[in-house]
A and B are shown apart, each in its own frame.
Chain A
Amino acid sequence: MRILITDDSKAVHAFVKSVLEGTPYKLTHAHNGSEAVEILAKNAAAFDLMLLDWEMPILDGPSTLSQVRAKGITFPIVMITTKNDLESISHALALGATDYVMKPFTKDILIEKLGQYLGEGAA
């Protein structure tokens, strides 16, 4: 199973990579929404879940979310963002986000969310 992580922070990529070491899940890295949309245009079926940042250069999280859902892609999309206000969370859900992780988050929280959508193998 493969996760597409889309975030402009190298630290977040490194953290998620370290959390998933030793699990059956593989990561593909995108550093802004535009890269993610390109990757998905080539082979969306290869992915089981996307972790998506909100604020990114070129194409931000909400615009990426809208474009991905508009293409009929239905896999779970979990926002990972510092935007921790109720309005932003509601907005993301309305655009088609499946769930939401507020930064800073812990390894346990990420594992729990992934386990919920990808099965116990993530734990």
Chain B
Amino acid sequence: MALPQECLKYFANFIEAEVGIVYSEVNYYQLETRLTEIAKQIGLPDSEALWSQVQVAGIKGDIKQLVIDIATNNETSFFRDPNVFKLITKLAKEFAEQRSGEVFKVWSAASSTGQEMYSLAMTFFEIAQTTPFSYLIHASDISERVLARAQAGTYTQLEVQRGLSAMQLVKHFDQNLGSGDETFPWMVKPHLKRGLSFKKRNLLDPWNDLGTFDLILCRNVLIYQTVENKKKVVQKLTEHLNANGSIILGGAESLIGISDALEYVASESAVMYRKKPLSHVA
């Protein structure tokens, strides 16, 4: 290992303070690999050179953003965990039936490069073809870089093959061959961008400009957080849920011991919690 343990600890402490993600010492080798990638991205030879710069100027500006980027897991694909989208389809159809004329508001709280929100948009677009149904989707992520990708709605050839059928690709994507960015030749069609909004958000910071939602997707985010931060994030998510609104978490996540304002909704498809009526909260 090129960087001394105490230097890696400095970066690990910074990441934990900024985004709540804990790097334990057994994972320091992984952190160092990622710091080396950052060093190369900004034109430095290795992680030691990065450390030298950080000692002088601190973790600020581009370096800060890159460190946050590497710490957050941007692994994603379209319709990741198809069962979750079956459940969301059911929830959206129920909403359309029971609350005709209202707008179904959804927040993709860790949207990464946008595959989750465009999967939601495809799902809702299809429902709206056969049923009167209006929706708004808000996407947020802590990383400006991935959020910019989400907003652009542009994808590589490999990305559009993860989770999308050829039928969905033809229906919802345009192709920019030869005249645009060769790295991201596929772009979502304008109809998928209707009703979307984007904002960089740290789930640990206050959000004063955010309304309330009928459904929040916060998948595979809490798993990286300390218990204290989990409680903080879940309490804030709950405040932004409409009455009877739901939160969908990742398949391996649970709120046992984290919140009593939400109740588990038994489902074979997904890990879902629903906001309890106020009178039922202990």
Contact residues of A with B, CB < 8 Å?
A: 79, 84-86, 89-90, 92-93, 97, 99-102, 105-106, 108-109, 112, 116
> In the complex, are the beta carbons of A92 and B166 less than 8 A apart?
yes
The bracket for how many chain B residues form the interface is 10 to 19
Shortest Cβ distance from A79 into B: residue: B166
B175: contacting residue among A86, A101, A105, A108, CB under 8 A: A86
* B178 to A: closest C-beta gap in Å: 10
Q: Known contacts being A89-B170, A93-B167, is A109 close to B175, with CB within 8 Å?
A: no
**Is B157 located at the chain interface by the 8 A CB criterion?**
yes
Tell me the complex Cα distance, A106–B159, Å: 11
A90 touches B161 (CB 8 A): no
Q: How far is the CB of A18 from chain B (nearest CB, A)?
A: 19
- Is the CB–CB distance between A101 and B170 below 8 Å? no
- Residues of B that sit less than 8 Å from A by CB: 157-158, 161-163, 165-167, 169-170, 173-175, 177
CB atoms of A106 and B157 under 8 A apart: no
A93–B166 CB distance below 8 A: yes
B166/A109 in contact, CB under 8 A? no
CB pair B174 A109 closer than 8 Å: no
Q: Is the CB of B174 within 8 A of A84?
A: no
- The 3 A-B pairs of least Cβ separation, nearest first, read A100-B166, A86-B175, A109-B161
- Given A84-B157, A85-B177, A109-B161, A99:B166 Cβ within 8 A: yes
Q: Give CA–CA (A106, B161) in the complex, Å.
A: 10
CB–CB B161/A101 < 8 A:
yes
Q: How far is the CA of A73 from the CA of B173 in the complex (A)?
A: 30
Given A85-B175, A102-B157, do A108 and B162 touch, yes or no (CB 8 Å)?
yes
Q: Assuming A85-B175, A102-B157, is B170 touching A112 (CB within 8 A)?
A: no
Nearest-neighbor residue (CB-CB) of A110 within chain B: B161
Please determine whether A89 and B169 come into contact, CB atoms closer than 8 angstroms.
yes
**Are B162 and A109 neighbours in the complex by a CB distance under 8 Å?**
yes
CB <8 Å contact, A112 and B166: no
Q: Which residue of B lies closest to A100 (CB)?
A: B166
A122–B180 Cα distance when bound, in Å, is 36
Q: Which residues of B contact A106 (CB under 8 A)?
A: 158
Which residues of the other chain, A, contact B174 by a CB distance below 8 angstroms? Answer: 86
Residues of B with C-beta under 8 A to A112:
162-163
A34 to B175, CA, bound (A): 32
23 A–B contacts from the bound complex (CB under 8 Å): A79-B166, A84-B157, A85-B175, A85-B177, A86-B169, A86-B170, A86-B175, A89-B169, A89-B170, A90-B170, A97-B166, A99-B166, A99-B167, A100-B166, A100-B169, A102-B157, A102-B161, A105-B161, A106-B158, A109-B158, A109-B161, A112-B163, A116-B165
